[in-house]
Amino acid sequence: MRLESAKLLWDASEAAKAVRTFTEDVTRDQFFADLLLRSAVERQLEVLGEALVRLRRDDLETAGRIPDLRKIIGMRNVIAHEYGDIDYETVWVVVTKYIGPLIADLDRLLAEADSPTDPIKLGSP
């Protein structure tokens, strides 16, 4: 895995972890009532999606190993370009059901990048 790919995976993972942190112990009603919280979650989902857009552009093989990549990027596009049409029910489902497994997938890929047999660690191009 290329060094730039690992950096993008790290960015995506950190954004996903921020979403999880922001929404821990938050109820659906609290989420819907809190503009600041929704805005923070939106921003992190946008960062997450943008990192994966760049990963897909630069390293299609690694990006292809991320489940639901197309949907994640699609959500980023809605948040960035169709902000008036954000379906917060969908955002809530993503936050409560899909962020945890996504973090696990991203961290698994990052762990592979840290593997001692990885060309990045061995100094290979």
Q: Which residues are catalytically annotated?
A: 76, 81
All residues at 6 or more sequence positions from 101 whose CB lies less than 8 Å from its CB, including other chains: 67
Return the number of other C-beta atoms located less than 10 Å from residue 18's C-beta: 18
CA distance 26 to 12: 22
